[in-house]
Chains A and B, each alone.
Chain A
Amino acid sequence: ETGVTQSPTHLIKTRGQQVTLRCSSQSGHNTVSWYQQALGQGPQFIFQYYREEENGRGNFPPRFSGLQFPNYSSELNVNALELDDSALYLCASSYGQGMSGYTFGSGTRLTVV
């Protein structure tokens, strides 16, 4: 069984640009969540997608948006990048409610300069 894969692993963007991060969920999982982890902090919930619909959102502005595709893979889009968007972005997949834990990817490390 394949785990959660994220791409790219690292990238550097300039303030004001837009970025798209990608996530392939674990086989058999239909729910994808995205988290932002700033340096030295715990992950913060951005939003979750279930059956291609947003199913919960954290305290992030609308310039953070996402998509889930029929194969349950997902994208996180961030517009008008700010320096504070520099972080590790983690994708997690689960089946349904994820009661026994989500499977996380290794993340995308985004640096905004």
Chain B
Amino acid sequence: AQKITQTQPGMFVQEKEAVTLDCTYDTSDPSYGLFWYKQPSSGEMIFLIYQGSYDQQNATEGRYSLNFQKARKSANLVISASQLGDSAMYFCAMRDLNGSEKLVFGKGTKLTVNP
């Protein structure tokens, strides 16, 4: 069974600094996708970044990058130059790319950006 573990219930960062949110995963499938979502207090899950298990390079999207270490089964999210609007819950999720349609989510990390 697939599992996502986020060990940081809460993180604090100063505005304009970088922060890393941890995510480890467990799966026996060789083909999978890893996602990060941001959930502000409004409830909407906002897609940030995607990494496929066969992608050779780490994914980047603007200020977001994914530090993908396949052997360690980790997919940490790095947010550079934090902004006050980055304060939210962040969820790591995984999808098996061979038939299963579901996303499996971790419990999330609450990020607070301080001015």
Judge: A and B partners, yes or no.
yes
- Shortest Cβ gap from B66 to chain A (Å): 13
Beta-carbon nearest neighbor of A88 in chain B: B43
Majority secondary structure, B binding face: strand
Chain B: interface size category = 20 to 34
Given the interface pairs A48-B101, A99-B33, A99-B97, the reply to whether A42 lies near B91 with Cβ below 8 Å is: yes
Residues of A28-86 at the interface with B, using a CB-CB cut-off of 8 Å, are 31, 33, 35, 40-45, 48, 50, 55-56, 58
A102:B50 contact, CB within 8 angstroms: no
A-contact bits for B72-113, CB 8 A (1 contact / 0 none): 000000000000000000010101010011111111100000
B35 within 8 Å of A by Cβ? yes
> How many of chain A's residues have a CB under 8 angstroms from any CB in B?
29
A-to-B contact residues, CB < 8 Å: 31, 33, 35, 40-45, 48, 50, 55-56, 58, 88, 90, 92, 97-107, 109
9 residue pairs, one from A and one from B, having the closest CB atoms: A42-B105, A45-B102, A101-B47, A104-B45, A56-B101, A107-B43, A106-B44, A48-B101, A106-B43
